[in-house]
Amino acid sequence: MTALTSSSQQGFVSLVGAGPGDPDLLTVKGYRVIQAADVVVYDRLVSQQILALASEQAEMIYVGKKLDYHCVPQDQINQILVEKAREGKNVVRLKGGDSFIFGRGGEELETLAEQGISFEVVPGITAAAGATAYAGIPLTHRDHAQSVQFITGHVQKDGREIEWSSLAQPNNTLVFYMGLKQSGHITEQLIANGLDANTPCAIIENGTRSEQRVFQGALSDLANLAQQAISPALIVVGSVTQLHHKLKWF
């Protein structure tokens, strides 16, 4: 089922990943679904160029989040999606990056499924893939990294701690989302679990956007680098970050 074939009695929700920042990285399907939407429920990091694709008649609902501040609680966002779909609307839930990678997309769809609301998922380019590509940092490389891991920079308040020993491995690339505030803790834990303090790392600020900046150094200096950067930013740990100067193109 697609948004264009939803019933007149009940609407439909399209969970759309808008990509990491550059509006040209929106998928063709994402573009089409946004244009057909009656309601767009969107997050803070979605660009104005992508929002402008929506119809002038579409209802635009902002539900953006910042660290430690959610203008609309998650439960209320879930309820908005349910209510708008029950009004017979084609709803686009628009998130930065990819909705299933640290975007709470799965949580929102669980609510829709429980309420009997039909939905689809339109994947987006996640920040780790987009920002590193624009920074000239390949996530994997035969001479540097045979694996890559995406890690959230903060855990739930009731707390499951990251399994740091599984991260502190050679020939591996680590990408931390939302990690600036926890950069000191990240450094301490990786080094304590065996990763060399001289391991190269980088912070990519505003990845894929015109104002993108890249900060480089050793793992031991990560917290100092983080003080120079502002959100949104990704932390990348691994020797692939050394390729930035050779492969940067943006």
Catalytic site positions = 43, 65
At CB < 8 A and 24+ separation, what contacts does 243-249 make?
A: 243/136, 243/137, 243/138, 243/141, 243/144, 244/135, 244/136, 244/137, 244/202, 244/214, 244/216, 245/136, 246/136, 247/136, 247/137, 247/138, 248/135, 248/136, 248/214, 249/136
The strand pairing partners of 39, in sequence order, are: 59, 91
Would you say 7 and 112 are in contact if contact means Cβ atoms under 8 Å apart?
no
Per this entry, what is the length of the chain? 250
User: Which residues, 6 or more positions from 52, have their beta carbon under 8 angstroms from its beta carbon?
Assistant: none
